[in-house]
Every structure is written in structure tokens, then in C-alpha cells.
Amino acid sequence: MKTLQLVTVGSDPEEISCYLEESHGDKVLLIGFKSHTDELERVRRNLQRSLGVPVETRLIAEQHPEELSKTFDEILRSEAPQFDEVVLTATAGEMSLTEKAVAEAIVRKIRVVI
């Protein structure tokens, strides 16, 4: 089964490594705030190297949480059709982002792993 894994990332992107070491998808999309762009890019490169799968980022403006809904729609339209399953891994990082992402995932019938 081919899996697209969405991962919410907080202010400490390094924490997500522990969520992905044992289990990760065939492609990983990191979803985080634009204010953490540099850290996310560093973690993206490290994860791609260590996991051996494509890792991309999707950035959300903190002051515009509605962007998360648009981001989910875009992912489901352009990325999801290539996969058998879409999973959201909700990390403990940025609770405002995580809570909104879980709600968006449930509405779209995406499996959530916490």
C-alpha cells in the first residue's frame, strides 16, 4: 500500500524525527508555519536523506489559519490520487496548527495518527 504522510510541525521541527523513525509513508509532506521556514527546510533535507523517501514542505501563515484548509484541498487534489492512503501524523509541537489539522483531516476522512 502506497502512503502519503502529512506531518504537522511546530516550533521545534527536530521533534518530528522520533515520529517518523519507525514508520513513515512513501512520501512525507511537512506542514508548518512560514515563520519556521529555515528550520523546516533543514529538517526536510535531513529526513529525506535518512528516510530515503521524498519529503516536501507546505507552509501556512500563522495569522491566516484558513490557509490550512486550502492546503489540505490542494494536497488531496494534486498529491493524494497517486497514493492508496493519506495519513496525518499530528505532533505535539504547535497545538493551534495540530488541532486545526486534525479537524481538517477528520472532515476529509484522512486517518489521523497521534
For residue 108, the model assigns a pLDDT of 85
The pLDDT value recorded for residue 20 is: 78
Domain with 17 in it: 3-113
What was the pLDDT predicted at 36?
86
Taking only the tens place, the pLDDT of each residue in 1-21 is 999 999 888 766 667 777 777
Taking the mean position of all CA atoms in its chain, how far away is CA 80? Answer: 13
CATH number for 37: 3.40.50.10770
- Rounded mean pLDDT of 45-60? 92
With cut-offs at 50, 70 and 90, classify the pLDDT of residue 95.
low
Say how many domains are in the chain. 1
Distance CA 112, CA 85 (A): 11
Longest dimension (CA), the chain: 37
The 3-state secondary structure of 45-89 reads HHHHHHHCCCEEEEEECCCCCHHHHHHHHHHHHHCHHHCCEEEEE
